[in-house]
Amino acid sequence: MKPLKSIKIIHTVASLNSRSGGTASAVNGLCEGLGRLGDICVNIYTQKDNSDDVRILPKPELVHTELVSAISIPQLRMIYSSSFYSRLLNYCYEQRIDLIHNNGIWLPSDHSAAAVARRLRIPLVIHPHGMLEPWSLRFKAWKKKLAWNLYQHRDLETASVLCATAEQEAENFRKIGLRQPIAIIPNGVEMPILLPKIEKGSKLTKTALFLSRIHPKKGLIELVKGWQQIRPKDWQVVIAGPDENGYQKVIESEIRKAGLQDVFKFVGSVEGEKKREQYQDADLFILPTFTENFGIVVAEALSYGIPVITTKGAPWEGLITHRCGWWIDIGAEPLADAIREATALSDAERQEMGKRGRIFVEKNFGWTQIAENMISVYQWILGQGSKPECVL
C-alpha cells in the first residue's frame, strides 16, 4: 500500500448498539483498523442510544469519534431529529471531510448521509451490510418499495463505490441493476486468546450455540424442527442474542410443540466477557440463516475453534474447503442431517475441525489487512492511487 496522504473520512451508521446486529461490530472493527494505519482521521457519526453497551472506540489520538449522545466533547451526540442532516452537513463542511462512508440503507440517517454527500460534492461509499439481499428485500417489502422509489434508489446510484462483504452480495447488487464499482471487502474479527478446553465426558452435556438476533431471517424455527428429528443424547442448545420485536415467544411456542423445553435454553443478549464465555463453552455453532451478507458470528465462532453449521444463505463455502464445518441448503431436513453428523463425531474430531477453522479465519479475516484494502479503495476514489484488486 502506498503512503497515504492525509485524508479525513467520516463513517455514518444508524446505531453502534450491538443489539442492532453485526453492522455495529463491523463498523467499530473497521474504524479501529483504519485508525491504526497511516495519516488518516476517521470519524464515526451515529445516533443516540440509551443502552449501556454502546462501545466508544479507544485511542482517540488514532480514531476520532463523533458519537451522537450526551457526553462531553470531542464525542458529540444527539437524538435523531430533523437537525441530523443539518448537523452532519455543518460538521462535514467545517472539518473539510474528504469522503463519507455510510453503513446501512433505508433509514432517514442513511438518506441524510447521501444527501450531505451530494450537497457538498463529497465522494460517497455505501456499505449496505446485507440490506439488499433477496430475503431482506422481501421482508416488509412494501415499506422498502416505497423508500426505494422515494429516495433509496437515487442514493445508491450516486455512490462512488458500493461495498460488499462477499462475491455473493456483489452479484445481488448487479441483479437489482446497480452498476457502480463494487469493492469486495469482508468483515473481520479480533482473534481471541483461547483458554484450555474443559474435557467433557460422555455423561456431561455438550452445547450447540446459536448467537445472533432472535429474528425471522435467522432460521430458528428450522433449528427447532431439525433438532426435533435427531434429538442427540447429552446435548443442549443455547440461544444467545437479543429478542427482536417479541419473536422469541414464537420460537418458544415451537419448542414447546416439539417437546424440547429441557433442551433449548435462552440466555438473552450477551456481550463482553459473557459473550466470550458462551463461545468458550460451545462444542458446536449453528446459524441456520435464510440470508447473511457475511455472518460475522460464523467468523467469531471459528476464531474460538468451534466447528460451524450454517446455510448457503451465508457466503461460507470456506467451511467445506477448509474442512471446519457444514455449508448446507436452507431448511430443516438438511439441517437435521448436519446435526446428526456433527453430534456423532468425537470431541477430538470436532476439536480438530475447530483448529482448522481458527487457522482459516486468522489468515483471511484480520482487521489490519481489511483496513489496508479499504484505504486503497479510498485512495483510488480520491485520485491518490490506482484501482485496487478488490474492486470489480
Q: What does the pLDDT look like over 59-110, one tens digit per residue?
A: 333 233 443 332 222 333 333 445 778 889 998 999 999 999 999 999 999 9
User: Max alpha carbon distance in the chain (Å)?
Assistant: 65
Q: Residue 203's Cα: distance from chain center in Å?
A: 36
Domains 7-188+366-381 and 206-364 fall in the same CATH topology: yes
Region 368-376: what's the mean pLDDT?
Answer: 91
Residue 204 pLDDT level (bands cut at 50, 70, 90): confident
What is the percentage of the chain residues whose pLDDT exceeds 90?
66
Q: Give the residue with greater pLDDT, 76 vs 385.
A: 385
What's the pLDDT band for 39 if we cut at 50, 70, 90?
low
Asked if 24 and 58 count as a contact pair (C-beta separation under 8 A), the reply is: no
Q: What is the dihedral of CA 226, 232, 238, 244, to 10 degrees?
A: 10
Structure confidence by residue, pLDDT tens digits, 257-302: 999 999 999 999 998 899 999 999 999 999 999 999 899 999 999 9
List the one residue out of 236, 226, 206, 237 whose CA is nearest residue 346. 206
**Could you report the per-residue pLDDT of 240-252, keeping only the tens digit for each?**
999 988 999 999 9
Q: Does residue 377 surpass a pLDDT of 60?
A: yes
Q: What is the pLDDT of residue 5?
A: 63
pLDDT in tens, 326-335: 999 999 999 9
Instruction: Indicate the pLDDT class of residue 198, thresholds 50, 70 and 90.
Output: low
Name the pLDDT band for 208 (thresholds 50, 70, 90): very high
**Domain spans of the chain, in order of start:** 7-188+366-381, 206-364
pLDDT band at 49 (very low <50, low <70, confident <90, very high): low
The superfamily (CATH) of domain 206-364 is: Glycogen Phosphorylase B; (3.40.50.2000)
Nearest to 49 by CA among 111, 128, 109, 118: 109
Question: Residue 29's pLDDT band (boundaries 50, 70, 90)?
Answer: confident
pLDDT at residue number 32:
85
Cβ–Cβ < 8 Å for 290, 330? yes
Q: What is the pLDDT of residue 55?
A: 40
Q: What are 305-323's pLDDT values in tens digits?
A: 999 999 999 999 999 999 9
Q: What is the mean pLDDT of residues 129-155?
A: 92
- pTM comes to 0.76
Here the cell at position 96 is: 473539510
Q: Which three cell numbers stand for residue 307?
A: 466447528
pLDDT of res. 309: 98
Candidates 4, 5, 22; CA nearest to 13 is: 22
Minimum mean pLDDT range among 9-13, 65-69, 174-178: 65-69
pLDDT of amino acid 67 = 37
CATH architecture classification, 7-188+366-381: 3-Layer(aba) Sandwich (3.40)
Q: Across the strands, what pairs with 310? A: 287, 327
Cis link prior to 74 (omega < 30° from 0)?
Answer: yes
